[in-house]
Amino acid sequence: MTAALAPYASDPAASRGRRHAEQPTPHRSEFQRDRDRIVHCTAFRRLVYKTQVFLNHEGDLFRTRLTHSIEVAQLGRSIARPLGLAEDLVEAIALAHDLGHTPFGHAGQDALNDCMAPHGGFEHNLQSLRVVDQLEERYPRFDGLNLTFETREGILKHCSRTNAQKLEQDEPGGVGQRFLDRTQPSLEAQLCNLADEIAYNAHDIDDGVRSGLITLEQLEQVPLFDGYRRQALAADPPLAGRRLLYESIRLMLSAQVHDVIDATTQALRACGVDSADAVRRSAPLVCFGEPMRERSSVLKTFLLRNLYRHPQVMHMTGQARTVVRELFEAYAADPQELPAAYAARTDTTRAIADYIAGMTDRFAAREHERLTGRRLLPA
Ligand code: MG
């Protein structure tokens, strides 16, 4: 049994519902149902072959978007329960939040956005929503997964004004509205954003050290990490190497979880919200305390400079951009190279973007080689 919901939590029984009406199901709440639909969808299975920092086929040890999403769900649930939030909604949003990502992490998304600039651009958050609203083909009477408003609201983390206006035309008062009104999403959605950040900061330290691109010695310059490294050593002086790394990360993760719980509890008390809708009209409420916010941003800057911009990573991301751009150009020059269902669509450039965005790292590298005769990435 999950804990009782707080008054400001999203209650599945009070959901704003699905775009296509469906009968309630016995034994599962509407948010559990959303979570289950996500776990069974095709885009979810592909997350195992998509990466953020490292290429999926660079090594079997690194995080993929699937393991990342599971870590976000775990951290999200740990924070949701003591706050009395809807754990199943947190889990659904966390598992779906990266469904629209292109192959090759941010490099792939940036390249695709450049290619699509004259045709409305490409945003991975909006693409995640397209996956669950339109692209999945699993049900007899509707496209997509027909998820609840609350899960869809959480998936659409960012959205440009132009895209929000387009969403509003199709679905007035829907998930685009808050980007025009400048209001907040549910606490569960806010929590997933922060859990996402906590998860990738921690696992990128881990993957960064194990890949050899950053060292434990370098991390001693990062106060957030170094504090927990010292704490781990004080408790177990012989600790070194991998176990020291893991123990430091573990201490850091639990301190961040407790920090969010405490700071958010205080913020909720201070503003006195008493319903999920009052949350939407309030300032953002799920947060770190100020000292943790500062120390966490120092860590982010460290990872940006030393890992995400590491020459080896930059080389790979440069190749990845070329692969995505040349794939786009090849399909645009000859749409018959697309699978029949995509080639048949009238919105050719959007069909190309949807097809490329759905690719795994390895498939994109192979398909690029098939179309151009050149191998830019290990496939
Ligand atoms: Mg993420």
Position 210 scores a pLDDT of 87
DSSP 3-state assignment of 34?
A: helix
Per-residue pLDDT of the chain (379 residues; tens, 9 = 90+): 456 899 999 999 999 999 999 999 999 999 999 999 999 999 999 998 888 776 655 665 677 899 999 999 999 999 999 999 999 999 999 999 999 999 998 899 999 999 999 999 999 999 999 999 999 999 999 999 999 999 999 999 999 999 999 999 999 999 999 999 999 999 999 999 999 999 999 999 999 998 889 999 999 999 999 999 999 999 999 999 999 999 999 999 999 999 999 999 999 999 999 999 999 999 999 999 999 999 999 999 999 999 989 998 888 889 999 999 999 999 999 999 999 999 999 999 999 999 999 999 999 999 999 999 999 987 6
Task: Answer whether residue 16 is part of any domain.
Answer: no
CATH number of the domain to which 290 belongs: 1.10.3210.10
* Cα 68 to ligand 1 centre (Å): 7
* Cα 337 to ligand 1 centre (Å): 31
Task: Answer whether residue 148 is part of any domain.
Answer: yes
* Cα 221 to ligand 1 centre (Å): 26
Which 8-state DSSP code applies to residue 16? Answer: -
**Helical ranges in the chain per DSSP H:** 30-39, 42-46, 65-83, 87-96, 105-116, 124-130, 149-155, 161-170, 177-181, 187-211, 216-219, 223-235, 241-271, 276-281, 290-303, 311-333, 340-343, 348-358, 361-372
* Cα 235 to ligand 1 centre (Å): 32
* Cα 101 to ligand 1 centre (Å): 9
User: Angle 307-308-310 (CA atoms, 0-180°, nearest 5)?
Assistant: 60
348: Cβ–Cβ under 8 A, 6 or more apart, which residues? 332, 335
The neighbourhood of ligand 1, an ion, using CB within 5 A, equals 98, 196
57: Cβ–Cβ under 8 A, 6 or more apart, which residues? 361, 362, 365, 378, 379
* Cα 46 to ligand 1 centre (Å): 15
Position 291 scores a pLDDT of 98
Task: Answer whether residue 1 is part of any domain.
Answer: no
* Cα 194 to ligand 1 centre (Å): 10
Is residue 285 within 8 A of residue 271, CB to CB? The reply is yes
Go through 137-167 and write b for each residue having 16 or more CB atoms within 10 A of its CB, e for each that does not: eeeeeebbbbbbbbbbbbbbbebeeebbeeb
What is the residue range of 253's domain?
Answer: 28-313
Task: Answer whether residue 7 is part of any domain.
Answer: no
Position 3 scores a pLDDT of 62
Residues linked to residue 18 through DSSP beta bridges, in sequence order: 148
Position 1 scores a pLDDT of 46
* Cα 214 to ligand 1 centre (Å): 21
In the chain, how many domains are there?
1
Question: Which whole-number Å values give the CA distances from 209 to 104, 205, 258, 307, in the listed order?
Answer: 20, 6, 25, 9
Task: Answer whether residue 378 is part of any domain.
Answer: no
**Beta-carbon count within 10 A of 379 CB:** 17
155: Cβ–Cβ under 8 A, 6 or more apart, which residues? 93, 96, 97, 99, 125, 128, 129, 132, 147
* Cα 63 to ligand 1 centre (Å): 11
* Cα 65 to ligand 1 centre (Å): 7
Q: Is the pTM of this model over 0.85?
A: yes
* Cα 178 to ligand 1 centre (Å): 21
Task: Answer whether residue 328 is part of any domain.
Answer: no
**Beta-carbon count within 10 A of 334 CB:** 11
Q: Which two tokens stand for residue 354?
A: 């949807």
Question: Which whole-number Å values give the CA distances from 16 to 11, 111, 133, 278, in the listed order?
Answer: 10, 36, 16, 15
* Cα 98 to ligand 1 centre (Å): 6
Task: Answer whether residue 374 is part of any domain.
Answer: no
* Cα 62 to ligand 1 centre (Å): 15
Task: Answer whether residue 266 is part of any domain.
Answer: yes
* Cα 4 to ligand 1 centre (Å): 28
* Cα 195 to ligand 1 centre (Å): 9
